[in-house]
Amino acid sequence: MKRALLAIAIGTCVLLALVFILLVLLLAATGV
């Protein structure tokens, strides 16, 4: 059970990080 929660937590963090990076890249692309 704990492993499942840990996997979900890690997956969520990774998804948030990817979304953040995509937003930064979009802002950089439109900023130029």
Q: What is the pLDDT of residues 1-32, one digit of tens each?
A: 899 999 999 999 999 999 999 999 999 999 87
Domain ranges of the chain: 1-32
Residue 2 half-sphere exposure toward CB, CA atoms < 13 A: 0
Q: How far is CA 29 from the centre of its chain?
A: 19
pTM of the model: 0.69
pLDDT at residue 2, rounded to an integer:
92
Widest Cα–Cα separation across the chain: 47
